[in-house]
Structure 1
């Protein structure tokens, strides 16, 4: 392993690959500026966190964009994305059980590939978490209008319910509102946020079950022919797009410092949540393309509500679905926003971003200033940026971070073979190799504009790192004060 605390004479290149020992990362667990995070979450809450962050994003928002690319074979696109997610989930499960801290893949990269790679990973997680919250919040407004129109006969004007674009939007007020609601819950405390999320997840699953029951009654096998009109290329393109719907299964890993028994429960929560989400997506996707022709799904961002309206000739099923979606998507916003703040908490503790992000409120034991700053940034994105651009930018940042996690598992097995591991990735090293390969493959399926945005974002990140992070790195300074203050707790 590279020297964790290089001296002032260390070469420039060596300073970029300095690693932080896994034991040191774990030893800092929970400790922030002026306070400590509180351990309150068990297996059920952690599983609900990952399900809450994932289930709903793709089905309620992105299905309508993916179906025109693959036709009825969009179901296979969900399976392709699930397989890709599974390989990465196994790697996440191993590292989450070995290094159970708030930093998720950022912290794993710090322990295996060094500070520069960790920074790039953390910078990509900004894209994954903060931007995905914004993207989901944009879709939330669509379902709110469906619900209001079906119950009280009014809708929010397009100018106030859509981001700027050809449809006449000016600012998406509902998207901003749901971000502020999640902010209020997060400021109340981690336990309160987990309880609220649990209620919303139960409702979300019930609503999707309701959709399946209704849609399968209108199932028409003729809608499945031709099954893959755009062939393998269409399925691959749709798979890259719907991978957005699996973003969030790693959310439990960001709660490593607020879990009661992280080494045992984090790997279980990650795998359980991925199973629940995959089964739900495949069933709902099959019900949707069987009930209506796939071309109709692309006509509305609130595609599931449209399916129920067109198949039942009645408004009330769509109203029920829309109400469920309003609450369910709010849970995605809540949990993903939570994950973003905890990753920034870890980066701040390492000195790579300002210390305000790791300052813990003594009263609520949450990083309050961090929550306010992130929420303000997300609210602006949600109010003014179109959904499609957000979803694709999120996918490429996520795939890059997942690829690093798979590589990190292989490196840590070699550099620290004796570390206690509560879960080991099966079929090693085949599983992480395939995980990294699938991630790279799906990245290549995304458009040129998405790649340009990703490269520009990465370049901006390097400017920030060399302008601030590298000079303030606590690892570079040999600052072990916080680790000692943490008392070695995991």
Structure 2
């Protein structure tokens, strides 16, 4: 059977007829995940905070988190191979557990995605302003962030093929830029040897260094998501059961290596690390770039960095819009009539895309009233993403214990259960770390901001579910991963590939 026919048949067996065009090549699918993960954006956003909290050893969190997220990616690979449906975690949770559980998973993950778009575009403002030669005031940063959202939205509205090419261009520019900038810093502007990676420079003060390191590990936690975006566009990729698991793993391998290289180059090039820890240099990235490249050279580098931010925002929007569309297609939420509308001309869900632009724009605008807006938005976004991930990992573990045997083209075989358990343990530990209160001198609501934000999101979702039972009106397939549950038949059988990590 031809791949296109097989893809259509597999999707039909899952209860859907796709409106999307399968215009996204394997290379573009990987590039989408890479630009969403975005080594440059992730490192540049949190580098100053993490270095100030724990000094150079914070770089080791990138390796620790990378291993943990690889476990999650392996679990997701099995799921997407069997259920290659647009929207990612929401339809996966729906098939593994049920409608109510899927509703909450999608709700948490969608809001976290929209907050992540806001965090990326808000941070972009700090680099847009100096690249244009203007002061990065609060208002300027907000305006530049809104401009980044607008540009990403326009690219997404041009359709899958343009999105695919933009992702490839973004990946190429980011990887080459990261290698060129990092290489130059290491060759011509290195201030320290590798031994500095084991020197905290007294960052923890009189407190526990373990506590300081865990707080600084936000740089790793914020870095390693994006691989799931490869699965969010499953209906736009040919032969998704085989190609998407490969793209997910490559995103972790290549994206993680690039992020670690960027972080290493910056750490070894910061001349005054004690000054960063003491708060005397709150923007060491800009300081390093200006010292290494001069004002004009640094501005050129910043323009390359901006490509990374736009690409990242674009990929995030694509993921969020596909999730919102999938939600709407199953009639799961108020406004589903608009969210599920599809533009056959452009090959995109227009109202779902508008949602992924308007909500982040509002978050960016309202950030004006908050101090430390970046840290707060990033912390909530990371926690929400991890919560969405772990809801799926938990659903997969429950399904396995109830008899689910993954039947897609990618299978972990006897490693499935231990990998699933390890992925859940890692994810729970990471969420505890993100939400742990670390500012005892701050107001209680500031100290527990992450937990409070998560509670508000989940609580609002529960109230909505009680008042507007959209999930109960949907007759879309659900709970069919577990053998004892009556549901839509399994996908056409494929010869499984041997799992490779």
Q: TM-score, normalised by structure 2?
A: 0.82
Q: Could you say if the C-alpha distance between residues 417 and 223 of structure 1 is closer, same or farther in structure 2, counting changes exceeding 3 Å?
A: closer
Residue 38 in structure 1 maps to residue 44 in structure 2: no
**Quick one: distance in 1 between partners of 2:77 and 2:422?**
16
* Equivalence for 2:199: 226
Counterpart secondary structure, 2:348: coil
Judge conservation of contact 2:86–2:323 (CA < 8 Å) in 1.
Answer: yes
Task: Work out which of the residue numbers 89, 99, 110 in structure 1 matches 2:73.
Answer: 89
Instruction: Describe the shift of the 1:471–1:279 C-alpha distance in structure 2 as closer, same or farther (beyond 3 A).
Output: closer
* SS in structure 1 of the partner of residue 294 of structure 2: coil
Q: How big is the alpha-carbon RMSD for the aligned residues of Structure 1 and Structure 2?
A: 2.7
Q: 1:456-467 residue pairs with structure 2 within 5 A? A: 456-467=456-467
1:313, 1:182 → 2: CA distance? 28
| Residue 360 (1) aligns with residue 348 (2) | no
Please say if residues 15 and 476 of structure 2, whose CA atoms lie closer than 8 Å, have aligned partners that are also in contact: no
SS at match of 1:475: coil
Q: Point out where structure 2 has 5 or more consecutive residues left out of the alignment.
A: 1-9, 368-372, 438-447, 479-486, 495-501
CA deviation string 1:229-248 (max 9, x = no partner): 44322222222453112221
- The aligned counterpart of 2:418 is 430
2 CA distance for matches of 1:236 and 1:178?
Answer: 31
Task: Determine which of 97, 101, 114 is the counterpart of 1:130.
Answer: 114
**Paired position in structure 2 for 1:26:** 14
Decide whether the 8 Å contact of 2:11 with 2:84 is kept in 1. Answer: no
Give 3-state SS (helix, strand or coil) of 2:474's partner. Answer: coil
1:138–1:383 contact (8 Å) kept in structure 2: no
Q: Does 2:114 align with 1:144?
A: no
Matched, 1:184 2:167: no
Q: How many residues align?
A: 443
Matching of residues 110-259 of structure 1 within 5 Å: 110-149=94-133, 155-156=134-135, 158-162=137-141, 172-217=142-187, 218-221=190-193, 223-224=196-197, 226-227=199-200, 229=202, 230=204, 231-259=209-237
User: Residue 146 of structure 1: CA displacement?
Assistant: 2.2
Q: Is the 8 A contact 1:219 1:287 kept in 2?
A: no
Q: Which residue, out of 318, 324, 337, partners 2:298?
A: 318
Report the alpha carbon displacement of residue 435 of structure 1 after superposing the two structures with TM.
1.0
The normalised TM-score by structure 1 is: 0.84
Match of residue 241, structure 2, among 263, 266, 287 = 263
Residue 411 of structure 1: how far off its partner (Å)? 3.4
Over residues 98-140 of structure 1, what are the superposed CA-to-partner deviations in whole Å (9 max), with x where a residue is unaligned? 1111121111111122222211111111232111010000111
Instruction: Say yes or no: does 1:61 pair with 2:45.
Output: yes
Give the deviation of 1:294 after TM superposition. 3.8
Q: Is contact 2:145–2:364 with CA below 8 Å preserved after alignment?
A: yes
Instruction: After superposing the two structures, state which structure 1 stretch, 425-434 or 332-341, moved more.
Output: 425-434
Higher mean C-alpha deviation, range 364-373 or range 175-184: 364-373
Structure 1 residues 237 and 265: alpha-carbon distance in aligned structure 2, compared to 1, 3 A threshold? same
Q: Could you tell me whether the CA contact under 8 Å between 2:201 and 2:273 is conserved in 1? A: no
Q: Tell me, which stretches of 5 or more residues in structure 1 are unaligned?
A: 1-21, 31-35, 150-154, 163-171
Q: Which moved more, 1:374-383 or 1:184-193?
A: 374-383
